[in-house]
Amino acid sequence: MSDIGEATFDCSDIDQYLGTVIDSSPIREPLGNNDIRRWVQAMHYPNLAHYDPAFAAASRWGKLVAPQSFPIVMDDSHGTSSSCMGGIAESHLLFGGDEFWHYGPRVFGGDTITNERIPYDYSVKDTGFGPTCFQRGDNYYRNQHGELIAKQRSTAIRYRAAAGGARVDTSEFEEPEWTDAEIEKLEERKFGWIRMLHDLGHGERWWDDVNIGDQLPERVFGPHTVASFTTEWRSYLFTVWGTLDRRTIDLEALGFTKEMAGHENDPVMERINPELTDGAYYGPSRGHLFPRYARKIGMPRAYGYGASMGAWVTDYLAGWAGEWGMVVHSTANYRGPALSGDVTIQTAEVVDKMVDEDGRHLVQVKHLMQNQKGVKMCMGVAEIELPKKK
């Protein structure tokens, strides 16, 4: 990094928070089944185990169960708070990726989930935005019994606000247009993956039957729209007035510019004028839904949420594994956003099989998310536990 970059991009305020538990915003009431249903609908995940009572009653759990992607719904900021502590003057933030570890306990209606958040580390590198801080933070999600459900290590990308607007690709301002015939073909491709869920049903996907080199069925959804992004946003419980005991946060002190800070998630303002606390309209999150603000941070038009992309990865792999399998670990490195008008296509390949020290039978996959033009949006690896034939 250049001397100029070091002199004008000071990240040292982060140091005081590393390794220290920071405030969270716990939910006020136990989860309801409709919270789970709203989530899977927003995430384009039509797995009957998560929304259909008759199917769920015949499952291994005997009732509706939340998908493995669900814990991030429980707290404000969908995992980024632990990776956005410390002030960086005149900065913006993008979600850079996730790493998840899943430990076994599942989430059900009636549960109360808490999150212990601990900033982990950071590094500064030169990127297309100039000096850029890659900050990581950990989230430990536990149920009311104290059982650790999942650990999430999120990565935030923090960079100069001025660099965002200067880097916008003006050639991407307009959304692609889809003909009726193209939409019909997309719907056929979408249903191919949904049919896979139906075909597996309550059955096992045996570890014995999976081979290195196997390709997972593709998953397609979209085209994304401002309406679909809004549906995603509303499925996070923290976006609803009064759902959380919100922590106090000063977004301007973190370095967000005044026009992008506002009162998002402000517990005091929520009681005075909650309209001003809704990130769909004001604050850092409004860039997702309003192209004017998306372009200020480097996005050409409305774009989806990084946390949703992480959920798409988990759901894609867990849906393939079935109710007797489980994603135990995954990485997701975000390379590009889901832009309005684009389609998301997920694929994966089995690259290894193993039995770990705990005797679990695992397959390792490389997964890829890209749009209709082949632009890579997300990639990573994951380990999935599958049942073994006796």
Q: What kind of fold does domain 12-176+203-385 have according to CATH? A: Thiol Ester Dehydrase; Chain A (3.10.129)
Q: What is the distance of C-alpha 308 from the center of its chain?
A: 4
Q: Write out the chain's pLDDT in tens, 390 residues.
A: 333 344 479 999 999 999 999 999 999 999 999 999 999 999 999 999 999 999 999 999 999 999 999 999 988 888 889 999 999 999 999 999 999 999 999 999 999 999 999 999 999 999 989 999 999 999 999 999 999 999 999 999 999 988 888 889 999 999 999 999 999 999 999 999 999 999 999 999 999 999 999 999 999 999 999 999 999 999 999 999 999 999 988 888 898 988 888 898 899 999 999 999 998 999 889 989 999 999 998 999 999 999 999 999 999 999 999 999 999 999 999 999 999 999 999 999 999 999 999 999 999 999 999 999 999 999 999 999 999 998
Please provide the size of the chain in residues: 390
The torsion angle over the Cα atoms of residues 359, 360, 365 and 369, rounded to 10 degrees, is: -150
Q: What is the C-alpha to C-alpha distance for residues 185 and 240, in angstroms, rounded to an integer?
A: 36
Q: How would you class 206 by CB atoms within 10 Å of its CB: exposed for 0-12, middle for 13-18, buried for 19 or more?
A: middle
**What was the pLDDT predicted at 4?**
37
As given in the structure block, the two tokens for residue 161 are 């606000």
**What was the pLDDT predicted at 6?**
44
pTM for this entry:
0.95
Sign of CA dihedral 168, 173, 175, 176: negative
**What was the pLDDT predicted at 3?**
37
CA distances from 10 to 21, 59, 132, 155, 260 (A): 23, 53, 10, 18, 20
Cis peptide leading into residue 223 (ω within 30°): yes
Q: Are 16 and 231 in contact (CB under 8 A)?
A: no
Q: What is the distance of C-alpha 362 from the center of its chain?
A: 24
As given in the structure block, the two tokens for residue 246 are 């919100």
Q: Return the SS3 of 332.
A: strand
- C-alpha triplet 219, 369, 96: angle, nearest 5°: 140
**What was the pLDDT predicted at 297?**
87
Domain residue limits, the chain: 12-176+203-385
Q: Are 307 and 229 in contact (CB under 8 A)?
A: no
Q: What is the C-alpha to C-alpha distance for residues 172 and 170, in angstroms, rounded to an integer?
A: 5
Match 């100069």 to its residue by tokens: 160
